[in-house]
Chain A
């Protein structure tokens, strides 16, 4: 009987794991070199990012990726103070993401910078993710 319960539990845990891995492999994430190639490497300026258009933000994306260490550990409210209100969406609306490109028609891509958070809701990683559409 115990074996049956163990098998059922493992199945349940397995489903959870598969769903999690599906999520982690979901969507497209650009390498830093690809980000630089696509949008250049303008230095990150807080004020310009906060008030800038998507294309202005996009030009700073590469520099932001170079600043992961500085952003690591930052709380979500402090991130908002620094960069303004997030306007992108990645997996859940509790993960801050900032749009850097919006598709204008089908076949084009939308991109965003994601600030992945840990269980304490502090920044643990930054990456550029294809918001839409795979």
Chain B
């Protein structure tokens, strides 16, 4: 029997119950896992999440950069354990909820706090401030008032109410 080639397209393609299987990445997890080495400072839990959900994690990290840029508008530097740190966590978790949903946001935020050598008080501060951001974002989304340019104002409102844990208060600039 001779072989023949015929042009084909997606017109008749159906995968129904096989979608999950067929849409799996063709790259082995170990390869995707190694790609996450490109990102510095990721915890093991974050690297595993990058391997499982690379596209979503790229988005999540892009949002963390956005959070940093937004908070720098107030503080002129990104520092650790102070108000700028609280701001980044508040804004990042808010942006995440709005963009990738609450469940995945929590997975990302929890994975981020899994560094074994991070002091406990810093983990507590970050987790608490993430929680304030998640709640604020959920409320804004529910009332259809979530806008990125409102986030810094919301942060300052919560800061005034002393809703954040801040380990080291920043001296006036």
* A interface residues with partner B (beta carbon < 8 Å): 1-2, 4-6, 9, 12-13, 15-17, 19-20, 23, 26, 75-77, 85-89, 91-95, 97, 99, 102-106, 108, 110, 116-117, 119, 121, 131-133
Determine the distance from Cα of A9 to Cα of B64 in the docked complex, in whole angstroms: 24
Decide: B122 and A93 in contact? CB cutoff 8 A: yes
B98 at the interface (CB under 8 A from A): no
Q: Which of A105, A108, A110, A116 contacts B40 (CB 8 A)?
A: A116
Contact A108–B76 (Cβ < 8 Å): yes
The 30 sampled A-B contact pairs (Cβ below 8 Å) are A1-B22, A2-B26, A9-B25, A12-B55, A13-B27, A13-B32, A13-B35, A15-B54, A16-B54, A17-B35, A23-B39, A23-B65, A87-B79, A87-B80, A87-B81, A88-B79, A89-B79, A89-B80, A92-B41, A94-B41, A97-B80, A99-B77, A102-B76, A103-B76, A116-B40, A119-B47, A121-B117, A131-B77, A131-B79, A132-B77
Judge if B145 is at the interface, Cβ distance under 8 Å. no
Chain A proximity of B52: nearest CB distance (Å): 12
Measured CB to CB, the nearest residue on chain A to B73 is A133
Task: Label chain A's interface by main secondary structure.
Answer: mixed
Which residue of chain A is the closest to B123 with respect to CB atoms?
A93
Question: A16 with B58: in contact, given A9-B25, A91-B40, A92-B42 (CB under 8 Å)?
Answer: yes
Contact A5 B41 (CB under 8 A): no
B76 with A19: CB separation less than 8 A: no
Cβ contacts under 8 Å, B64 to chain A? 92
Judged by a CB distance under 8 angstroms, whether B6 is at the interface is: no
The reply to whether B61 and A19 form a contact with Cβ atoms under 8 Å apart is yes
Which residues of B are found within 8 Å of A19, using beta-carbon distances?
Answer: 58, 61-62
Choose one: A75, A117, A132; the contact of B76 (CB below 8 Å): A132
CA–CA, A23 and B81, complex, Å? 23
Contact pick for B85, options A12, A17, A91, A93, CB 8 Å: A93
Asked if B17 lies at the interface with its beta carbon under 8 angstroms from chain A, I say no
B22-60 contact mask (Cβ, 8 Å, vs A): 1 or 0: 110111000010010111111100010010001100100
Residues of A within 8 A of B68 (CB): 89
